[in-house]
Every structure is written in structure tokens, then in C-alpha cells.
Amino acid sequence: MRTWPFSPRHVVLIPLSALMLLPLVWMLVTSIETLAESRHFPPTLVPSGIHWQNYPDALAAAPFGRFFTNSLIVTLASVAGNLLLCSLAGYAFARLRFFGRDVTFIALLATLMVPFQVTMIPTFLIVQHLGLVNTLGALIAPNLVTPFGIFLLRQFFRTLPVELEEAARIDGCSRLGVLFRVVLPLSMPALATLAIVTFLWTWNDFLWPLIAISSTDKMTVQLGLASFQGAHQTNWTLLMAGNVMALAPMLLVFVVAQRWFVQSLASTGVKG
Amino acid sequence: MIQRALGSDHLAGWLFVLPAVVLIGVFGILPIGWALLLSFQHNDLLTAPTWVGVDNYRTLVHDPVFRDSIRRTLVYTALFVPLSVGGAMGVALLLHRPIRFSRFYRTAVFVPVATSTVATGIIFNWLLEPTYGIVNFLLDKVGLGPYGFFQDPDQALYAIVAMTVWGWLGFDVIIYLAALQGIPEDLMEAAQLDGAGRWATFRHVVWPLLSPATLFLIVWSTINALQVFDEIYVTTRGGPLRATTVLVYYLYNQAFELFHAGYAAAAAEVLFLITLVFSVVQLWLGSRRVHYSS
């Protein structure tokens, strides 16, 4: 019966893909136009030549290198902190019997019910008391461990066969040894999920850096990008070049490791 | 022997959870209580706070800007949630079975997920620029516009909806694709053998089996919509004429630009209440309709 030369789904999917990609493609095109070409109507769809100069100009206009270093420090510290501290806590909540365990677990988990926007003012005051305002520490300390990560890992650890851990204990392995030599090597999928989600979340976070950081040399990529826009309002070629540089690493990692990203996001959603 | 084993578990257990308990205690639990306390104080983030009782809440009730910000937040949520969740379900159904260029289509839909909210905002500022923007140019080709978008008080909030749906659609599609993957193939075949058409198969097999994912996405998207901020900060700054001053933008502005931190804390408690009510009602309604396959 079917005489279509191709699936009718293409009829929807082609324009949809165009719609999803247009913003990013247009950003790329504008980033290699001259300022005059960008300020022309109708828009210059195909620039006269590749005007690379916008990129060095953007680099000269704002310290993107510094922004990247800051974002990298904050993100790596948060990922490392979450992997270590959520593993320790998640394992204790999954396997060890200790006084007050369930109450503590529920208290930690309950904080997930309160959105950050509700607690951001006192969080700022706490960071102020700790003398961390306008330091990278302000961005790292609150993100070193998350109830979400503890929950995720605890659930995963509970699915592992306990016999392996018991055998290791009988062989004289310490609790810590069991965790690091037996449990964690078996938990790579869950650890990868936690690492990816923490990475994506911390790298793209904006509101907290906006509140906690004020000087340019402490800014993350997102904050730096926003302030860069503030300083170059209508210089679209410069703004798009800056945007491309800020986005490129994350988009490249995402496209290359798309399967991992997708699996991680999916597993935090449906199973959670 | 047993005593000693248990004893060591107590110590080991607490040592293992101690860093997490301290950090979440300081940055997670303490701020919850403090936020409530703040809402009864006058606080400018610098000098010593003073106790003002329920004054902040009383002022809030009579603050038209605050009430408008709640209304806008609800309008935004009412548009964003069905558009993004419903749209994602449709896209996921189209993408589920492999066809030519599947991988390309998927990548196109997923890429905005990795695009930060700030970058999204800046890109859309340029796309929707009234004079030189490409969207007005394209709309002009089909005889529409020109529109002011972010610069028109009547359009700005809808432009924000369109932009954020673009940014969030991919995440919802990912969740739906994972859920579709979980539907056993023999269920679909059984339905087709029983003579169910495409619509009947969708309505009676796919739709109920997707319902846990749908419930999750509705609750999750609602929470995110009630808290929308980044994209607005980067594009309209709550304007023009406060047309996009949503709840979180209002409380950010009050706390960190006007230094009315106590007042903003009271607004934050209202946000918490709204979020809680929405989540509880949605989960309650959902629990009666969602079909969980065991």
C-alpha cells in the first residue's frame, strides 16, 4: 500500500531540525561577518568572506581564558567532590547500620524539596560569614556534595550483590577498602551519570555565580558571557564570536559523547 | 564480638556521612530555617537585621508589582509546560523508530540541552532583534511582522516562552525516548494483532505506558517554569514595562539590586508555597491516573 518514496515523518522532522539548529547556525554565520554586514537589512545570509577578526577582537575585549579557567576549576572541584563525598555517604546509607541513619538520610533528602531560589538569600549570607564572597570557593563549597548524588548512588549501591562485599570483609578488607576496591569499580555507570549531570549543571549555572561573584577575574564562563553582552550591547558580530567560544567546548563534548549524556539524563529522570 | 562489629559500624557510618552532613547542613538545611527567619526581618545584606514581624508579608499582599509577577509566572508556566511536554512527546514518537538521518535529527533536537541558558538568551536577542534580526526577515518573507518581540510589552513574555521551549525541548525528548524504549515490542505487536489501528495503539498502549514519564516531566517542568530567571535576566531584564518580571526575577531584584533582603525572603516563601502546592497537587492527581507497569 505504501507508495511514499520516504517516510512522511521527514516532512515534520526536517523543518523541526532546521528550527532547532537555526539559532546556532545563525550564531556561527554572524560570528564571521563584518559589523557592517550584520547591520544590514535584509540580513546578509552568506557573508562576503570569513571575517575571523571577530574572534581575536572578542578575546581582547573580555578575558575568556580566565573565565574558562575559573569554570574549569569550579566544575572539576564539584565533580570530584560529588564523586567522593556522595560515594562515601551513599554507601553508608545503603549498607552500614548506624545510629540515626534513616532520620539523617531523610533530613538530607528533604532539602531537595526547597528550591535554591528560596534559600539563595541566606546562602549568600552564610557565604558572606565564611568570607567567601567573590571567591571561587563560594561557587565550590555549596556544590561539593548534593542530596541528589547521595540518593542516586545509594539506590545504585543497593542493587549490587551484598555477598561480594561480605566476602571482602571476611578476607580482612576494611569498610573503606570494600567501598573503593569492590563497590565503586562495579558502579561506573552510576558514577558516570553523577559526573556528567554535575558537570552539565555546574558549568551552565548562572544565578548563584551572579549573586556570589562581582569581579571580572573571578567570573565563570556564563557570568562572563552575560557581562560581556552588557558591555557590547549591539556589537552582534563580537557577541556571537564570544558566544561561539563560550559554547564550543561544551557542544563538542556533548556531540561526541552524546550517548553518554543522553543515557545519564534519561536515568536521572525516569528512574528517579 | 557482635557488639564490637556493631560499634564499628556506628563509627564508620558517621565518619562516612560526616562531610556530606556538615556541608548539606550548612548550605542546605541551615538556609531553609534562616530564609524563614529573614522573612520576618528587615535586612539589607550589610547592617544588622531588625525584627519586623509579619510586616514583609503584609506589604507583599498589597504590592501590585508582586501580584503581577505571580500572575506572569503562572501565565508563563501555563504556556511553557504543555508546549514543552506535549511537543516533546510528539517529537519523541517521531524519533523513536529509526529512519534515515535519525542520528542527525536526534542531535539537532538534543543540542540545545547542552547550550547554556545565558548563551541561549544572547543568541535569541540577536535572532529576535526587531530591525536586523533574522526572524523578522523570515516572517517578512511570508507577509508577517515586523514584531518587536523582547521590546514589545505585549509580546515579550511569549518570546520568552518560545525561547525556553527551544532550550528545554531536548531534555523532555530524551526522557520520552527512554520511556518509549522501555515499552516491550510484543505489547505493540499484540495490539496490532488484535486489530488496533495506529491511534488505538497509541491511546491504549503507548499513552498509558508513557504516563510515568509524563507525570515526571509535568512536575519537573512546572518547578522549572515557576523558577525561570536566567533567560529573562539575559534578554529583557524583567522589562519592557515589567512585562517579564516573573517571581524569581522580582525577588532577585528586591534582594540583590535594591537590598530589601527581608522583603525578598518573604516573597521567596511564597514561591516555596506555590511550588509545593503545584507539586503536591500534580503528584496527587497523577497518582490516580498514572499507569506503572511492574
Nearest CA in chain B to A271: B213
Q: What pLDDT is recorded for position A9?
A: 86
Question: Is the pLDDT reported for residue A13 higher than 50?
Answer: yes
A–B CB contacts, 8 A cutoff, strictly below: 276
The candidate with the shortest Cα–Cα distance to B208, out of B290, B282, B286, B87, is B290
Q: Contact B94/A9, CB-based, under 8 Å? A: yes
Q: What pLDDT is recorded for position B5?
A: 45
User: How many beta carbons lie within 10 A of that of residue B99, not counting itself?
Assistant: 14
Please write the tens of the pLDDT for every residue from A130-169: 999 999 999 999 999 999 999 999 999 999 998 988 899 8
Q: B18 with A88: CB under 8 angstroms?
A: no
Task: Give the H or E element holding residue B66.
Answer: helix B64-96
Nearest CA in chain A to B237: A230
For every one of its 294 residues, what pLDDT tens digit does chain B have, with 9 covering 90 and above?
A: 344 444 468 888 999 999 999 999 999 999 999 999 999 999 998 888 989 989 999 999 999 999 999 999 999 999 999 999 999 999 999 998 888 888 899 999 999 998 999 999 999 999 999 988 999 999 999 999 789 999 999 999 999 999 999 999 999 999 999 899 888 888 888 888 888 788 888 888 889 989 999 999 999 999 999 999 999 999 999 989 999 999 999 999 999 999 999 999 999 999 999 999 999 999 999 888 787 764
Residue of A11, A12, A20, A176 best to disrupt the B interface, most CBs of B under 10 A: A20
Q: A127 with A133: CB under 8 angstroms?
A: yes
B41 bridge partner residues: B51
Residues 61-100 of A with CB under 8 A from B: 85-86, 88-89, 91-93, 96-99
Of residues B119, B182, B256, nearest to A225 (C-beta):
B119
Q: B79 with B161: CB under 8 angstroms?
A: yes
- Domains of chain B with CATH codes: 4-12+14-51 (no CATH), 63-289 (1.10.3720.10)
Q: Contact B27/A20, CB-based, under 8 Å? A: no
ipTM: 0.90
SS3 content of chain A, % helix, strand, coil (to 5): 75, 0, 25
Radius of gyration, CA atoms only, chain B: 24
Q: Which residues of A touch B124 (CB under 8 A)?
A: 23
Give the whole-angstrom CA distance, residue B123 versus residue B117.
10
Q: What is the DSSP letter of B42?
A: E
Question: Is the pLDDT reported for residue A3 higher than 70?
Answer: no
Q: B167 with B117: CB under 8 angstroms?
A: yes
Q: A47 with A25: CB under 8 angstroms?
A: no
Q: Which residues of B touch A246 (CB under 8 A)?
A: 116, 119
Of residues A104, A254, A266, nearest to B178 (C-beta):
A266
Give the whole-angstrom CA distance, residue A243 versus residue A210.
18
Distance from CA of B60 to the nearest CA of A (A): 16
A250 in contact with B, Cβ within 8 Å: yes
pTM for the structure as a whole: 0.92
Nearest CA in chain A to B248: A117
Q: Contact B27/A126, CB-based, under 8 Å? A: yes
Longest CA–CA span in chain B (Å) reads 85
Distance from CA of B157 to the nearest CA of A (A): 19
Give the whole-angstrom CA distance, residue A149 versus residue A146.
5
Of residues A38, A85, A243, nearest to B20 (C-beta):
A85
Mean pLDDT value of segment A40-56: 86
C-alpha grid cell, residue A90: 551513599
Q: What pLDDT is recorded for position A8?
A: 83
Radius of gyration, CA atoms only, chain A: 24
- Mean per-residue pLDDT over chain A, rounded: 90
Q: What pLDDT is recorded for position B47?
A: 86
The candidate with the shortest Cα–Cα distance to B66, out of B255, B252, B267, is B267
Residue of A117, A207, A223 best to disrupt the B interface, most CBs of B under 10 A: A117
In this structure, which topology does domain A65-269 adopt according to CATH? MetI-like fold (1.10.3720)
Q: What pLDDT is recorded for position B6?
A: 42
Question: Is the pLDDT reported for residue A257 higher than 60?
Answer: yes
Distance from CA of B264 to the nearest CA of A (A): 8
Please write the tens of the pLDDT for every residue from A77-132: 999 999 999 999 999 999 999 999 999 999 999 998 899 999 999 999 999 999 99
Give the whole-angstrom CA distance, residue B134 versus residue A197.
34
B50 bridge partner residues: B42
C-alpha grid cell, residue B228: 525561570
- Binned at pLDDT 50, 70 and 90, residue A2 comes out as low
Grid-cell match 505493540, residue found: B188
The candidate with the shortest Cα–Cα distance to B249, out of B266, B219, B272, B226, is B226
Grid-cell match 552539565, residue found: A200
Q: Which residues of B touch A193 (CB under 8 A)?
A: none
Nearest CA in chain B to A145: B20
Percentage of chain A beyond pLDDT 70 is 97
Q: Contact B137/A42, CB-based, under 8 Å? A: yes
Of residues A117, A207, A229, nearest to B122 (C-beta):
A229
Q: Contact B20/A6, CB-based, under 8 Å? A: no
